[in-house]
Amino acid sequence: MGVALLSLQGVSKSYWRGPHELMVLADLSLEVHAGELVAVWGRRGAGKTTLLRIAAGLETLDAGVVRFEGEDLAMLSERAHARLMRERVGWVGRGGPRSELTMIDYVALPLLIEHGRRRAHARASEALRRVGMSDCAGQRWGGLSDGERALVGIAHGIVRRPRLMLIDDPTANLGVIEREEVVQLLRALVEETSLAVLMTVPDMPTAMRSQQLTALSGGRLLVPTPAPDRGGNVIDFPGAERSA
């Protein structure tokens, strides 16, 4: 598939809680290529958000290296990293805007400084239309359903037309139909634009709709293998204590 767009090699990260060290990620390696939708499945508290923040260069590492298009993120200056996040990486966290912005203002926000209000709004309208949320342009975050928030969040992530999008649990708290809508949208974006997407998910059915599936458990990424002797609908995660 060529050189990876995003590469994490030997990444380790721990936090201290009083006298106790909590290992969150342990010698973790992962690659994401252009035109690929990668899902990381894990329980709450497994370290999925930490993994995404490290992939974005927003957290320091205890060990390992993170590269974007071959460039070590740790070697970037603060200014260069900010430019990378502004121009080539879309970040979609779990929360929405902290102020009473309308959704078109929220989606346009990453573009305002460089492009001005008129052009930023035009691009924001295009992004909202692409995710099917044009009718929400004048609404505020508090008035949206969880499904609408997920789609507006994706619009916020793609408005800069990034090479890579990092999405934290976009299907959390959604029903089956809404989860499918979100995943279908992400797959379409990947296929249409060669966008690379790394997302974390809280449930296995959603993860299985991706092109590359891994599970985060005990700080390590586990790659599933089919279990044909168990009915064909079961996959095992080597090193884990559970199947799906």
Q: Residue 9 has what pLDDT?
A: 96
pLDDT tens digits, one per residue of 42-66: 888 888 999 999 999 999 999 999 9
User: Between β-strands 225-226 and 235-236, what pairing exists: parallel, antiparallel or unpaired?
Assistant: antiparallel
Residue 146, CA atoms < 13 Å, CB-side half-sphere: 12
Which tops the pLDDT comparison, 185 or 205?
Answer: 185
Q: What is the pLDDT of residues 7-25, one digit of tens each?
A: 999 999 998 888 888 888 9
75 pLDDT more than 60: yes
Considering only CA atoms, which of 200, 155, 233, 232 is closest in space to residue 45? 200
pTM: 0.86
- For residue 113, pLDDT over 70 is answered with yes
Residue whose C-alpha is closest to residue 11's, from 78, 57, 80: 57
Helix axis angle, 146-158 to 112-130, nearest 10°:
130
User: What residue ranges do the domains of the chain occupy?
Assistant: 96-161
Note the pLDDT tens digit of each residue in 208-222: 767 788 888 888 888
- What was the pLDDT predicted at 230? 47
